[in-house]
Amino acid sequence: MNIALVTYFDEGKYTGEGTNEDNRLLTYLKAQGLQATFEVWNDASVTWGNYDAVVLKSPWDYFDKIAEFKVWLQQLAKEQVTFLNPVSIVNWNLDKKYLLDIEQAGFSIVPTRIIPQNSFFAAEPFFELWQTDTILIKPAISGGAKNTFPIAASESARLNHQVNELVKTETYLVQPFMPEIQTEGEWSLLFFNGHFSHAVRKVPQRGDFRVQHFFGGEILLETPPPIIINYGQELVQKFAPGCLYARVDGLESKGEFKLMELELIEPLLFLQQNEALYENYYQALKELLNI
């Protein structure tokens, strides 16, 4: 079977641990007898229909070129390319407003409000709403903590203007800053074809809130409590059917797991934490493609 693993043209923005994971995954899949190769998602010379399956692995710049990315997805759907994860689910997952769909379905999330493009933003009401002295601002379509930053109550007058400048170009989300991210860290649960594979706990560098490895975050391979795994399992079954992979990111707060993001497009899968995890990925691919 001939498989394309979708990547991006590397301009030096998003390299790091993910690149190593990609290379090792490709080597592993080839060792299992698959004809796998990396293809850049916006390379016009690629004929996607020549592949038996196209797998989204690391299109890490998609949010910088979102209009082009959506057109590409539409074209793949039109050509009926076998695509993992499914195009319809990827389109839904592009915009973090999906968190409200998940909340409406009864799952707990980190409290989230939408700041529509070209609307007026004022931070002060949110401090009162959530009884917090710090809120977090992030784009609705983004990755890698791009344009994501906290606003303390003492800085709101100065930073309101900055946010309103950003909102002129795109929609943003506002959330309460969750202090647990600095003390306990953030869980990432990995599911392959709906089955729980493994989890990591990501802890930010002291004094920071960003858990990404390129900001100095530490990644610990750990098993979360069953209640957290069950949450992730139910979430994936409802919102990620037929997906090769799904990453459930969240944290524990006041005895409850709260979702931060459901990653279905280009997440780091933390396969390098244990060699056996590549086999989990491969087996899920086999199941979905009937290899």
On the question of pLDDT at 219 being above 70, the answer is yes
Q: How far apart are CA 63 and CA 39, in angstroms?
A: 18
Instruction: Kindly report, as residue ranges, where domains of CATH 3.30.1490.20 are found in the chain.
Output: 113-176
Neighbours of 167 (CB within 10 A): 19
Q: How far apart are CA 205 and CA 125, in angstroms?
A: 30
Q: How many degrees, rounded to 5, is the angle at CA 205 between CA 250 and CA 114?
A: 40
Q: State the pLDDT at residue 218.
A: 80
Q: Quick one: tokens of 193? A: 């074809």
On the question of pLDDT at 16 being above 80, the answer is no
Question: What is the overall mean pLDDT for the chain?
Answer: 92
Cβ partners under 8 Å of residue 106, min gap 6:
none
Instruction: Kindly report, as residue ranges, where domains of CATH 3.30.470.20 are found in the chain.
Output: 98-108+180-269
- Indicate the pLDDT class of residue 206, thresholds 50, 70 and 90: low
Closest CA to 193 of 247, 244, 267: 244
Percentage of the chain lying above the pLDDT 90 cut: 81
What is the per-residue DSSP string for 77-125?
A: HHTT--EES-HHHHHHHTSTTHHHHHHHTT--B---EEE-TT----SHH
Instruction: Kindly report, as residue ranges, where domains of CATH 3.40.50.880 are found in the chain.
Output: 2-85
Q: State the pLDDT at residue 211.
A: 46
Span 243-267, pLDDT tens digits = 999 999 999 998 899 999 999 999 9
User: What is the arithmetic mean of pLDDT over 126-151?
Assistant: 92
User: What is the arithmetic mean of pLDDT over 121-139?
Assistant: 96
Question: What's the CATH superfamily of 113-176?
Answer: ATP-grasp fold, A domain (3.30.1490.20)
Q: How many degrees, rounded to 5, is the angle at CA 182 between CA 276 and CA 176?
A: 110
Contact by Cβ (8 Å): 167, 207:
no
Task: Report domain 98-108+180-269's class.
Answer: alpha beta
3-state DSSP call for residue 241?
coil
Which CATH number is 2-85 given?
3.40.50.880
